[in-house]
């Protein structure tokens, strides 16, 4: 909510969010600005940090949801209360 995390990496069968979608977070919401398929090799320490993790291993522990194998990079913007 402070704007430090601007993206998320998820491993799904298919996308669970859509560009332009708004998803509640705290007193506001995030709006997905882009989603694209990437590979595990595209996940760098810098991307992990941008996603709010201290490293790639920590990110990967959280990124996998269910039996999916497709890796998605989701960019978003946070809008606080009153927007």
pLDDT at 11 over 70: yes
The verdict on residue 1 lying in a domain is no
Residue 25 forms part of a structural domain? yes
Q: For the whole model, what pTM was predicted?
A: 0.88
Q: Determine the average pLDDT of the residues in 48-52.
A: 95
* Residue 43 counted as domain residue: yes
CA distances to 16, 31, 71, 83 from 68, in Å: 11, 23, 8, 34
50: pLDDT confidence band, cut at 50, 70 and 90?
A: very high
The 10 Å Cβ neighbour count of residue 5 is 15
Across the range 24-44, mean pLDDT stands at 95
Q: Is 47 contained in some domain?
A: yes
How many domains in the chain?
1
Residue 75 lies in a domain: yes
Residue 59 has pLDDT above 90, yes or no: yes
**By residue range, what is the domain housing residue 74?**
7-79
User: In this structure, is residue 2 part of a structural domain?
Assistant: no
């Amino acid at each position: 909510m402070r704007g430090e995390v601007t993206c998320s990496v998820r491993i799904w069968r298919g996308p669970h969010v859509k560009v332009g979608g708004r998803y509640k977070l705290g007193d506001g919401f995030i709006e997905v600005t882009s989603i694209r398929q990437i590979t595990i090799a595209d996940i760098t320490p810098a991307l992990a940090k941008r996603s709010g993790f201290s490293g790639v291993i920590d990110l990967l522990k959280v990124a996998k949801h269910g039996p999916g194998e497709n890796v998605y990079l989701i960019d978003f913007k946070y809008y606080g209360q009153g927007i």
